[in-house]
Chains A and B, each alone.
Chain A
């Protein structure tokens, strides 16, 4: 099946610094990747949609200047948390849709293992 990786799996950083999280589709090309955030014992909340070669689309309430997304190739999207603060501590998960599978509205999303960010 389709495999999505994330790096790093866990990161601790100091308040005010920036952290970059990578999301890669390993065995398929992904024109679209998605970034989610999950707080403890809660559901996943979509943060943004990352499209290869174009600007990301952010969900309402998500600060695009704080969460910078770059989708530079068909297999890599990055999320950079800028000037991180303790309230940004969370579990960040990416997903990807297979470019070749189904149509625009009929496809399966595959998820990475997540990155646990702790800001001290």
Chain B
């Protein structure tokens, strides 16, 4: 099956800093999503991005499908950005989740 690795595993930032999270996957995919899991466990959809670049406010994402990686950019981080960020990929109707990046933003 597809292997999905995320880096870094942990990230500690001060409010206002920028960061880049990476997702590498081992096979070609038709689907790729980025999620933020808040402290209560809810997964929030950030981007559906099997290829190309998208932006939503302070967040943007880029997927280079031919090179099997995706990047999530967070600019001007806020304490409410804290939580775990997952990418999930699939080439069937299923999603395989990555290992996650745990982000802590301090004031």
**Residues of A that sit less than 8 Å from B by CB:** 1, 32, 34, 36, 38, 43-46, 49, 91, 93, 95, 97, 104-111, 113-114, 116
B93 near A114 (CB under 8 angstroms)?
A: no
A91 near B41 (CB under 8 angstroms)?
A: yes
B94 near A49 (CB under 8 angstroms)?
A: yes
Of the candidates B35, B91, B94, the one having the most CB atoms from chain A within 10 angstroms of its own CB is: B94
A34 near B95 (CB under 8 angstroms)?
A: yes
Please count how many residues in chain B sit with their CB below 8 Å of the partner chain's CB atoms.
Answer: 23
Contacts A93-B41, A105-B92, A114-B41 aside, 8 further interface pairs with beta carbons under 8 A come to A32-B93, A46-B94, A49-B93, A95-B95, A108-B31, A108-B33, A109-B33, A109-B95
How many pairs of A and B residues are in contact by the CB < 8 Å rule? 56
At the interface, yes or no: B45 with Cβ under 8 Å from chain A? Answer: yes
Cβ-neighbour of A106 out of B31, B43, B45, B94 (below 8 A): B31
**Given A93-B43, A111-B35, A113-B40, A106-B95 contact (CB < 8 Å):** no
**Given A43-B97, A46-B94, A49-B94, A105-B30 contact (CB < 8 Å):** yes
A76 to B22, CA, bound (A): 35
A38 to B31, CA, bound (A): 21
**Given A93-B43, A111-B42, A43-B98 contact (CB < 8 Å):** yes
